[in-house]
Chains A and B, each alone.
Chain A
Amino acid sequence: MSAAVAWARRRASAADAWRRLRRDRLAMTALIVLVAFVVMALIAPLVSDRADFDAINTGGNPTNSSPSGQFVLGTDGLGRSMALQVMWGARISLLVGFSATVLMIVLGVVVGLAAGFFGGWIDAVLMRITDWFMVIPFLPLAIVLASVLERGVGTIVLVIGITSWPSTARLIRSQVLSIRERLYVDRARALGAGKGHIIGRHILPNVTPLILANTTLAVPIAILTETTLSFLGLGDPTQVSWGGLLERAGTTAVKAGYWWEYLPPGVGIVLVVLAFTIIGRAVEEVLDPRLRAR
């Protein structure tokens, strides 16, 4: 089979998957919601200035005011626009969500590929480590890591990445194992192809859809973790994130009835996480025919 044919076949199957995905109305709605949030996060610096909600510049604004024409989502105790903070908070939440997922996928894929492809003692050692990380409860681990390391967005990304890669590694490994046994890899090997070639040309393209599905399901977990860590006070206090906004609102806003200070960031989290989950499941279903409806 020539490379061109294989490429065309893959493209065809991707197009087929996309066609099927497009028929899933719920997944499409979720995708639109998600795109809306990403766009919101991206354009935040274009339509506003970080300084607009810097506390030192908001002295003239009404404080703890309910939503109005001027402040669509009201203001907080220092007169900062909640709408702006939710917009900018989306940047950190999504940034952490995506970067942590990338880190986690990279770790998981590398370990999974190595274990599956090389087998033997490498496999045994890597899978042992994976099992360890799999069992260790993930939030307490993230908490101890975040308390020992310096506060900051980078730490949060690192912590989530380090604590959540094992399931990806396992998944990739099992896929690699099954692919490795397939004939054409044997044939490639017989033809004297290098390991790099086999991984790059045969194995990676085949596990890519799986990585994709895994990614869409990993991002919401990363976002939820960032939220929880920030809420517990382990986030970067100088950055605005959704979890940080909830921490600041705390029970004081709940008590005072300032719902605009704790509902919008929460709704943002729920919508983004829900959208990712729906899309992830839809992708999974498209890729795994067994999950398709009868």
Chain B
Amino acid sequence: MGAAVTLAAAGSAVVWVAPVSGSSGGGTVTLTVGVTQDVDSPNVTVGYTVAAYELWNLQYATLTDKAADDFATIPGLASTWDASDDGLTYTYHLREGLKWSDGQPLTAEDVAWTVNTSRDQEWYNHSSVTANLDAVALDDVTVQITSAVPDPKLPTMDVYILPKHIWEGPAADDVTAFDALDGVGSGPFTLKEWKPGQEWTMVANPNYWQGQPKIDQVVFRVYTEGGAMVTALEKGELDAANDIPAELFADLGTQPNIVTVAGAQGGFTELAMNGMAGGIGDGHPALLDLNVRHAVAMAIDRQQLFDRVALGIGLPLTVLGVSPDQEWLPEIPDAEKLGYDPEAAKALLEDNGYKDTDGDGIREMPGGGEPLVFRYAERSEGTQGAAIRELITGWLKEVGIGTEVSVYDDTQLGDIIYAGTYDLFVWGWTPFVDPDPMLSYFTCDQVTYDADEAGYNDANWCSPEYDALYVQQNQELDHAKRVELVHEMIRMFNTQSTYVVLYHDADTQAYRTDRFTGWLQQPKGTGPVIFSNSSPTYFNLTPIESSGSDDGGLGTGALIAIIAGAVVLVGLIVFFAMRSRSSREDRE
């Protein structure tokens, strides 16, 4: 019986392998990237994770592109454009012969459809750009875009253009229900397969307007832990990795053939408090009191978080990051900084009636009653969630605020945020080049009043004054004045303690230099190489020819291991065969 089992197992292995057909021979050039965050949804009207953005950056080209070096607006799908005299209308001339990855022609109609539909249906990824726009396809290669208001962002048109022939159907019904696994795009790589929680694979698009990429596919492998990812990178199983644990970062930079990058692009990590705008969700009532929010902010030593958790990688800034460009960030006066001051936090709570009446170390609502215990949602993805939680919950306890910790992956955390069933959570944002999208996320419009029309306003915070300022900056063509307005908005946001911005983090990345050349930091010198604003690296990569031997071939260690394994397997077969023979003898 033993021998039969062995054979059956071996047989099944063969059967299992057989149907997986690779392309002929080992000619496929694969770039493998390690990540700690999974795509939440490939649907551009639904997803919000940085991972999903990387997917879209590769899959969808934009009318205008962003220069790798400095984000300058450069030709994309459109090769040229002209402005009308009033500056409200732009005419974009598309390149000739553009095609989607499935071979269908990419025309001005696709552009017009995307702009108009995203505006009408308020797709939250597109709407900060297209809200005031109207597009008309004049012919196959000419699209005219008119803004209803003065728009400082134009002529930059960096929204993802979607294939109308794929999306028309879903958009007519409900676009958010579409699984978007079609893999039809106009960027250098398109989605081939997504295995949630494990990996997603993108293949080269032969119809990309800049030409066929020099690598055939990009595999993004999701790691539940940073340590395994870094080991895989060192061993050459990965070519690049994002979100390297800070404590492994310095050492990794000293390894041969590995370059580390702490890419700054204005991203930050924040503690968000549920503002319960419009009474949605079931946040703790105390969070409606600005004093409590200020106390929470002052209870947290953000410099220490930056030093001890981010290990000083990034910037110890505590303002909302809206762009990689620092000019948009205001100087916050000391009086408004809400810096670490636990005594002041305690006094503020005490003076406003939040006293510990039952002596358990946790304060209660004024007049006794519900204790100040906040639900704290921690991310299970990423690498810093646990350490941040240890410190923040400790500090909150010091000022008499209790916490109940739950851990969620990004998909679930997003759903909980949409439902408004949280008090506190820690997460982060990576802004675009223009501050407008990031600023738009905190307008009343972006609050998720109805789960079917989800918005980005994850703190459920709504202020008419802020919204008024948003509209102003959105239409201010004088750059200096616009910067002023943005500064004012960020200061207001800070004073409201909607977010307690913990620090501005840099993307801790590393890549190998022995298999590919052409890694691009965006922007040059300071930015990340992958997961950047428009992800120009991938198309720019060229495989290094000479190192072909380490692809496909197995190292000595592998050989030793395989031989050892084979010996064990043979030994087992012999062992069981002999045993069954001996028992047969016995029966006779």
Q: A-side interface residues toward B, CB under 8 Å?
A: 54-57, 59, 63-64, 77-79, 151, 233, 237-238, 248, 250-256
Contact = CB atoms under 8 A, between A and B. Distances in A.
B524 interface: no
Contacts of A77: 247, 387
Nearest to B380: A233
Nearest to B396: A56
A118 to B, nearest CB: 42
A55 B248 contact: no
Nearest to A152: B404
B476 to A, nearest CB: 44
Nearest to A151: B406
Nearest to B309: A78
Contact of B390 (A78, A250, A254, A256): A78
Interface stretch (B81-89, B145-153, B221-229, B422-430): B221-229
B231 A251 contact: yes
A80 to B, nearest CB: 9
A255 B393 contact: no
A79 B309 CA distance: 11
A237 B227 contact: no
A256 B248 contact: yes
Contact of B393 (A238, A248, A250): A238
B227 A252 contact: yes
Contacts of A256: 227, 247-248, 251
Q: Interface size class for chain B?
A: 20 to 34
B395 interface: yes
A255 B228 contact: yes
Nearest to A252: B227
Given A55-B387, A78-B387, A237-B405, A252 B304 contact: no
Interface of B: 225-228, 230-231, 245, 247-248, 251, 304, 308, 378, 380, 383, 386-387, 389-391, 393-395, 398, 405-407
Contacts of A151: 405-406
Given A56-B395, A253-B227, 19 more contacts: A54-B394, A55-B387, A56-B391, A56-B394, A59-B304, A77-B247, A78-B387, A78-B390, A151-B406, A233-B380, A237-B389, A237-B405, A250-B225, A250-B227, A251-B226, A251-B231, A252-B225, A255-B230, A256-B251
A63 B310 CA distance: 13
Given A77-B387, A238-B405, A252 B247 contact: yes
A251 B386 contact: no
B225 A237 contact: no
B463 to A, nearest CB: 32
A59 B308 contact: yes
A254 B229 CA distance: 12
A64 B247 contact: yes
A169 B532 CA distance: 61
21 contacts: A55-B387, A56-B394, A56-B398, A63-B308, A64-B247, A77-B387, A78-B390, A79-B308, A151-B405, A237-B389, A238-B405, A250-B226, A252-B225, A252-B226, A252-B247, A253-B227, A255-B231, A255-B248, A256-B227, A256-B247, A256-B248
Nearest to A54: B394
A140 B474 CA distance: 54
Contact of A252 (B245, B308, B380, B395): B245
